[in-house]
Structure 1
Amino acid sequence: MIEKQLCPSMMCAGFEHLADETKKLDEAGADIFHIDIMDGSFVPNFGMGLQDFSAIRASTAKLVDVHLMIQNPGNYVAKFAELGADILYIHPEADQNPSGTLALIRSLGKKAGLAVNPGTSIASIEGLLPLVDYLLIMTVNPGFSGQPYLEFVEDKIEQLAPYQDKFAFQIVVDGAISAEKVTKLARMGVSGFVLGTSALFGKEQSYQAILSKLRQS
């Protein structure tokens, strides 16, 4: 079985105590801290900011990613790389030169990620797959938490999973990922799971208990 990478979505954490939340999740066994950056233009919402990112980055030595749901992400990757992001996701629809931006991310010594919306076709991104280290498949339309899981995206996951060996990237899923979805999608070849309120936050169990159970599922 593929080793799971469990990635708390920090937009769902307590903003008043981001540093403490990060440390608790780190100690509980989180693998990658996922930070949503939104500009109110590419998606109809605003996300976390530079200060939020810095607070999280200073509180863990583990991997931190940034999901750039913003127009012209290539203008900002150097800034986030400088601040300590390990993985940077861009949306191809938001970038006039996505292949150049992915190459820039790698040239900065970071991992290049491509985010794929539910309505984005495989044909439109196939040429970019040799340039990515992580493929973030959205199982909801991006911009807001609490949306329902879109079952039809699983067909896309099944079609993209075989490309992982050819191009040496990992598939990560993001959007209404419940414990049941972690188990199901892991069997389909997914290794990374962005976890929000569906599986991790706002539960009675401790972070450690939840993450341990998810890892074993």
Structure 2
Amino acid sequence: MVKILPSLLASDFTKLGQDIKKMEAAGADLFHLDIMDGQFVPNISYGLPVVEAISEVASLPLDVHLMTNDPGQFIDEFNRMGVSMISFHIEATNHPHRLMQYIQERGMKAGIVLNPHTPVSSIHHLLQEIDYILIMTVNPGFGGQKFINDGVEKIKMLNTLRQENSYGYEIEVDGGINDETASICKEAGADLLVSGSHLFKSEDWKAAVSRMKG
């Protein structure tokens, strides 16, 4: 069954701890944390102190998505906080294989993020060793955007490559995920679905998570 990852950037930061516990009770599987530096993407989200506070409250695994230049900068800090998964953009480093190994050597899962314009071919050399690939179905940096359908073809392509080569990576999707697009992504082969605005604005969080899981 597909796993649901609420994006905490869409939560109410005045009651973040309450939202975390409420979303855990609703049946979420992991929490997705978007880290933005205002350079790689034109927005700033939150940094290490907030991630540490989240780690102290949350009982679910944490999935950190680095939308930053120099994505290797704080890997050890995230590891100390107990983060389970870290993904970075292929464009953000000249040494993606080295960074992938650095993350994995510390006991965390390493992921590569593909922007809407980034082809799957750019990571062919990493597919045998990578733990997961995050397909962006919106342009990174802002929540609440409309789903970009071209991402579905990437999901299908990665799913086919996985089956043909017995690769072990998971396929994660982030951007414009609601009941309808969740179904489309699951059918294409996605394993992990990130949802922010749709989940947190739902009247019944448990029902919303359940519908997305299908």
Relative to the length of structure 2, the TM-score reads: 0.95
8 Å CA contact 1:89–1:136 kept in 2: the answer is yes
Distance in 2, Cα, partners of 1:5 & 1:164: 18
Secondary structure of 2:65's partner? Answer: strand
Secondary structure of 2:54's partner? Answer: helix
TM superposition shift of 1:188: 1.1
Partner in structure 1 of residue 131 of structure 2: 133
Q: Within 5 Å, which residues of 2 pair with 1:175-186?
A: 175-186=175-186
TM superposition shift of 1:12: 0.1
8 Å CA contact 2:178–2:212 kept in 1: the answer is no
Distance in 2, Cα, partners of 1:210 & 1:157: 23
Secondary structure of 1:194's partner? Answer: strand
Secondary structure of 2:45's partner? Answer: coil
Paired AA for residue 200 in structure 1? L
Partner in structure 1 of residue 206 of structure 2: 208
Relative to the length of structure 1, the TM-score reads: 0.94
May I ask how many residue pairs the two structures share in their alignment? 212
Distance in 1, Cα, partners of 2:24 & 2:57: 9
Distance in 1, Cα, partners of 2:76 & 2:174: 24
- Structure 1: where are the runs of 5+ without partners? none
Distance in 1, Cα, partners of 2:57 & 2:74: 22
Q: Within 5 Å, which residues of 2 pair with 1:3-14?
A: 3-14=1-12
Q: Aligned-residue CA RMSD in angstroms?
A: 1.1
8 Å CA contact 1:88–1:113 kept in 2: the answer is yes
8 Å CA contact 1:171–1:189 kept in 2: the answer is yes
Distance in 2, Cα, partners of 1:144 & 1:172: 18
Distance in 2, Cα, partners of 1:52 & 1:24: 18
TM superposition shift of 1:153: 1.7
8 Å CA contact 2:55–2:62 kept in 1: the answer is yes
Secondary structure of 1:106's partner? Answer: helix
- Return 127-136 or 5-14, whichever deviates more: 127-136
Partner in structure 1 of residue 174 of structure 2: 174
Partner in structure 2 of residue 188 of structure 1: 188
Partner in structure 2 of residue 113 of structure 1: 111
Structure 2 counterpart of 1:68, from 43, 66, 69: 66
Structure 1 consecutive aligned stretches of length 4 or more whose deviation exceeds 3 Å: none
- Structure 2: where are the runs of 5+ without partners? none
Partner in structure 2 of residue 22 of structure 1: 20
Distance in 2, Cα, partners of 1:115 & 1:50: 20
Paired AA for residue 78 in structure 1? D
8 Å CA contact 1:18–1:52 kept in 2: the answer is no
Distance in 2, Cα, partners of 1:135 & 1:50: 23
8 Å CA contact 1:135–1:169 kept in 2: the answer is yes
